[in-house]
Amino acid sequence: MTVSPQSPAPEPLFDFAREVYELVRDTAPRLFAVVEEYRAGTEEADAVVVAWGLGYEDDSAEVIAVEGNRRWQLADAKHIVRYFGRAEDLSARLVWLTAPGSEGNAEAYAA
Domain extents in the chain: 29-110
User: If we measure between CA atoms, which residue out of 25, 43, 42, 30 comes closest to residue 78?
Assistant: 30
pTM as predicted: 0.73
pLDDT per residue, tens digit, the chain (111 aa), is 555 666 666 667 789 999 999 999 989 999 999 999 999 889 999 999 999 999 999 999 999 999 999 999 999 999 999 999 889 899 999 999 976 655 544 444 444
Q: What is the DSSP string of 64-90?
A: EESSSS-EEEESSGGGGGGGS--STTE
Does residue 50 contact residue 79 with C-beta atoms inside 8 Å?
no
